[in-house]
Structure 1
């Protein structure tokens, strides 16, 4: 099944409001495009899904904060996997770092609902594991080292005290 970039726009509902079903559609299209080895379409689809996920995080539907954060994480992970498949582990590292940093920032943002902050902490474990796996498969990367250290400092407070 061949898709064209215009097909992604054709599936967009009349409303421009982000929704989990809209994210699911974008993600499904991207996965199908990647499976069909249409990497340009897959890249466009994953980036669209990621943009929708970011908008969902800005104003998550009631009771769906965890689902919106899962969408954000899955979007980042799939995009990073595609970047690796394209032979660009550096771009993948950047994508993974952005995911981890976004979750760390959300988890300490006192202006956000507690449910979103707690979900960000839970999902941060997934991005942390993805960063460690990336190092295991592709070697050390300075962006990853910094993202992990910055998140740790943000979550645990920067302190010179040794434990």
Structure 2
């Protein structure tokens, strides 16, 4: 989420302090709540409800998506032949992490509305700042690898067993 800022760089106001980005930063300001509403309206929240409705007697779990990796080189990524992205088009780390936190909040609320247990990413899989550990990346900023999947499967099975 928010990997590329092509074409208009932006910042999100902080929800707690209500802060506005530095006007000299040459970034457009988007209020936190406006971004939260936009992400919710453009997510697959309804799909979650439909899946759960299809299995009314099942135990419900929603596994959060992994955060992005912080560092990567855009030149190593495949955006297709017509992509015109450069390293300068990448969203700042702080913005990507904030948008991930907004997305996680929305998905947790959706799980709660559907009486599902929300399984978040285990703290051992992310760095202290919240980004995915390099050992769990698929050598691109948005996809986790098999080791991540194996570790999350252990987390899922542990939580499922704990709720029996």
TM superposition score normalised by structure 2: 0.30
Q: Which has the higher helix share?
A: 1
Structure with greater contact order relative to length (CA < 8 Å, sep ≥ 6): 2
TM superposition score normalised by structure 1: 0.30
Structure number with larger C-alpha Rg: 2
